[in-house]
Amino acid sequence: MATLHTVPARKGLALRVRKGQHYKVINTHGYQIVDHWAFNAEDYRECMSMEHCHVAIDKLMPVVGDTMVTNKRRPIITLMADTSPGIHDTMVAACDIYRYQQLGAVGHHDNCTDNLANALKAIGVSIQPHETPAPFNIFQNTQYHPGKGIAYLPTVSKKGDYVTLRAEMDAIVAFSCCPQDMIPVNSGKPTSAEVELE
């Protein structure tokens, strides 16, 4: 029996999954980036690590069949299906209050770094800001052109596109609907997304 969980617009969500369990990250409204993290359920200090994943998957952008690994180089999640054009990002940090301040925000601005901490806190796990792992930025369309800078483009994923992931260990999986509205990565209008747990 599948259960559907909403990641609210601009906010985060953390869920516990069992080894072997599948979950779908659904771009419900389209054009929304979902920052994703995964942690060993028994020890949050073991977490999915993009810099270790690059070596493990032998590329910078995972494709169906690739298994992401932790900072102990152990399998934690596998990309089982992807109905989007397959454009995701593994190279840039989650947004944080400092990023928005640099872009000119004054006062509070929702951000994926705080969303992760709050989502984990809601299920009883406490991490410090410096322990935030680099995220797997699902649906994020960031293009790297040597000599020409980085282009932060609108996603190419459409309404209803999804990726299916399988947990390779008992894990805490966390998601943030990126609240970036100061550059056009979410097409200017951050929305909610859904996670369907098998």
**Which residues contact a copy of itself by CB under 8 A?**
45-47, 49-52, 54-55, 58-60, 71-74, 91-93, 96, 98-99, 102, 128-132, 134, 144, 146, 149-150
Q: Closest CB to a copy of itself among 39 and 139?
A: 39
Q: How far is the CB of 89 from a copy of itself (least distance, A)?
A: 10
Please name the residues in contact with 101: beta carbons below 8 A apart, sequence gap of 6 or more. Answer: none
Q: Give the E-state strand segments of 65-191 in sequence order.
A: 67-69, 75-82, 136-138, 141-145, 149-153, 162-167, 171-177
Q: Tokens 């089982």 sit at which residue?
A: 80
Tell which residue, 197, 101, 90, 184, has the closest CA to residue 134. Answer: 90
Query: Residue 134 Cβ, how far from a copy of itself at the closest point, in Å?
Result: 4
The nearer residue to a copy of itself, 42 or 131, going by C-beta atoms, is 131
**Residue 135: CB minimum distance to a copy of itself, A:** 8
Tell me the CA distances in angstroms from 159 to 29, 31, 144, 155, one per residue in order: 5, 7, 25, 11
Residue 162 C-beta: closest distance to a copy of itself, Å? 24
- Nearest CB to a copy of itself, comparing residues 132 and 141: 132
